Structure 1
Amino acid sequence: MTQNRSQTLRFLAEPGEVNFGGKVHGGSVMKWIDQAGYTCAVGWSGQYCVTVYVGGIRFYKPVHIGSLVEVQAQVIYTGKTSLHIAVDVSAGDPRSPHREKTTHCIIVFVAVDSQGKPIPVPQWQPQSAEDKAMEEYAKKLMELRQQIEEQMEPFLPT
Structure 2
Amino acid sequence: MEQPQHTVTLRFLAEPSDVNFGGKVHGGSVMKWIDQAGFTCAANWSGQYCVTVYVGGIRFYKPISIGDLVEISASIIYTGNTSMHISIHVFAGNPRQKEKEKTTHCIMVFAAIDEKGKTVPIPKWVPQTDHDRSMEEYAHRLMDLRKNIEDEMKPYL
Equivalents in 1 of 2:113, 2:143: separation in Å? 20
Give the corresponding residue for 1:130.
131
CA deviation after TM superposition for structure 1 residue 46, in Å:
0.4
Give the corresponding residue for 1:143.
144
CA deviation profile, 1:102-155 (whole Å, cap 9, x unmatched)? 000000000001110111110001111100000000000000000000001111
Q: Does 1:85 pair with 2:69?
A: no
CA RMSD of aligned residues (A): 0.6
Q: Does 1:20 pair with 2:39?
A: no
Give the corresponding residue for 2:35.
34
Matched to 1:83, the amino acid is: M
Give the corresponding residue for 2:69.
68
Runs of 4+ in structure 1 deviating by more than 4 angstroms, as ranges, are none
Equivalents in 1 of 2:147, 2:81: separation in Å? 17
Q: Percent identity?
A: 66
Secondary structure of 1:19's aligned partner? coil
Give the corresponding residue for 1:112.
113
Equivalents in 1 of 2:116, 2:155: separation in Å? 30
**Unmatched segments (≥5 aa) in structure 2:** none
Matched to 2:109, the amino acid is: V
Equivalents in 1 of 2:65, 2:138: separation in Å? 30
Equivalents in 2 of 1:88, 1:152: separation in Å? 27
Equivalents in 2 of 1:81, 1:144: separation in Å? 20
Give the corresponding residue for 1:95.
96
Report how many residues are paired: 156
TM-score normalised by L of structure 1: 0.97
Equivalents in 2 of 1:135, 1:7: separation in Å? 17
CA deviation after TM superposition for structure 1 residue 75, in Å:
0.3
CA deviation profile, 1:14-50 (whole Å, cap 9, x unmatched)? 0110011100000000000000000000010000000
Secondary structure of 1:105's aligned partner? strand
TM-score normalised by L of structure 2: 0.98
